[in-house]
């Protein structure tokens, strides 16, 4: 593994944490992977449900789960989520594996009124329109990589280092939709939702369920 490579998913966890409502009672993490983000959520919320289709990922998540974190092998498209239950539903690089026209109504119904949906996912490159942000990402990736590698060398913080277990997570090298296409599709389903491109090969979807 390249010493200057770093985990973009871990980097954008902080973005999602800032979007949580104050003192959330119950949070759902969709596509939790090895559970690192779900464990962070459990320090903010009274209860966290984390689901993933992979038994291997859930096994890893359960090894680090605190008592208020429940990890379940499940496909969000098939599981019966409690209606109007969650103060927040979050997801890190999972939505691009699913048809938005199916998953977004499911998540919207599971949110309580006023609840927050916040997800980071991968878009397909939109060239030449997004050439400036792609160039910025390529340059900043190496610069941040040098910085984080230096901080890891001289300190105890992991500074977005990749976990060996990340190698078992599914990867989509060519997602189906660009950020523009996702934005159009999302607004047909959740008219008040926002979708914006992030620098490091991700987009951010946010929506607050009307009261």
Structural domain includes residue 1: no
**What distance in Å separates the CA atoms of residue 21 and residue 35, rounded to the nearest whole number?**
21
Identify the pLDDT of residue 167. Answer: 60
pLDDT band at 163 (very low <50, low <70, confident <90, very high): confident
Q: Give the pLDDT mean for 29-49.
A: 97
- Helix (H) / strand (E) element for 103: namely helix 100-110
Predicted pLDDT of residue 1: 53
Indicate if 79 and 157 belong to the same structural domain.
no
pLDDT surpassing 80 at residue 56:
yes
Task: Name the nearest CA neighbour of 52 among 92, 20, 86, 6.
Answer: 92
Same domain, 18 and 97: yes
140 & 196 share domain? no
> Is there a single domain that holds both residue 138 and residue 55?
no
Q: What is the largest CA-CA distance in the chain?
A: 49
Among all chains, which residue has been given the structure tokens 């951010």?
Answer: 204
pLDDT beyond 80 at 2: no
Percent of the chain with pLDDT over 70: 94
Which residues span the domain enclosing 162? 129-166
What confidence score (pLDDT) does residue 172 get? 57
Q: Are residues 147 and 116 in the same domain?
A: no
| Mean pLDDT of all residues in 91-102 | 96
- 12 and 46 within one domain: yes
Identify whether 2 is part of a domain.
no
- The number of folded domains in the chain is 2
pLDDT of residue 171: 60
Q: Which CATH number goes with the domain that contains 188?
A: 3.40.50.150
Query: Residue 174 — pLDDT band, cuts 50, 70, 90?
Result: confident
Q: Where are the beta strands (DSSP E) in 38-193?
A: 47-52, 69-73, 86-92, 111-121
66 has a pLDDT exceeding 80: yes
pLDDT digits (tens, 9 = 90+) for 189-205: 999 999 999 999 999 99
User: Which strands sit side by side in the sheet containing 69-73, from one edge to the other?
Assistant: 69-73, 47-52, 26-30, 86-92, 111-121, 202-208, 194-198
- Asked if 107 and 201 sit in the same domain, the reply is yes
DSSP state of 55: H
Name the pTM for this structure: 0.94
Nearest to 16 by CA among 37, 46, 35: 37
Quickly state the pLDDT bin for 52 (edges 50, 70, 90): very high
Q: How far apart are CA 204 and CA 183, in angstroms?
A: 10
Distances (CA, A) of 94 to 87, 145, 157, 206: 19, 24, 26, 14
* pLDDT at site 162: 85
> Quick one: what percent of the chain has pLDDT higher than 90?
90
Assigned token pair, 31 = 């596509």
Q: Are residues 65 and 25 in the same domain?
A: yes
């Amino acid at each position: 593994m390249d010493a200057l490579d770093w985990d973009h998913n871990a980097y954008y966890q902080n973005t999602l944490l800032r979007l949580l409502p104050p003192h959330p009672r119950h949070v759902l993490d969709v596509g939790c992977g090895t559970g690192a983000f779900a464990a962070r959520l459990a320090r903010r919320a009274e209860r966290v449900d984390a689901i993933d289709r992979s038994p291997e990922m859930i096994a890893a998540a359960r090894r680090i789960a605190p008592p208020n974190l429940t990890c379940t092998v499940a496909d969000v498209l098939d599981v019966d989520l409690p209606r109007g239950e969650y103060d927040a539903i979050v997801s890190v690089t999972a939505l691009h594996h699913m048809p938005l026209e199916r998953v977004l109504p499911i998540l919207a119904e599971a949110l309580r009124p006023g609840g927050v949906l916040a997800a980071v996912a991968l878009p397909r490159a939109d060239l030449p329109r997004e050439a400036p942000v792609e160039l910025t990402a390529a340059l900043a990736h190496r610069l941040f990589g040098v910085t984080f590698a230096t901080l890891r060398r001289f300190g105890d913080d992991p500074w977005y280092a990749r976990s060996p277990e990340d190698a078992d997570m599914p990867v989509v090298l060519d997602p189906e939709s660009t950020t523009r296409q996702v934005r159009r599709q999302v607004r047909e389903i959740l008219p008040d939702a926002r979708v914006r491109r992030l620098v490091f090969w991700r987009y951010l979807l946010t929506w607050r369920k009307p009261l």
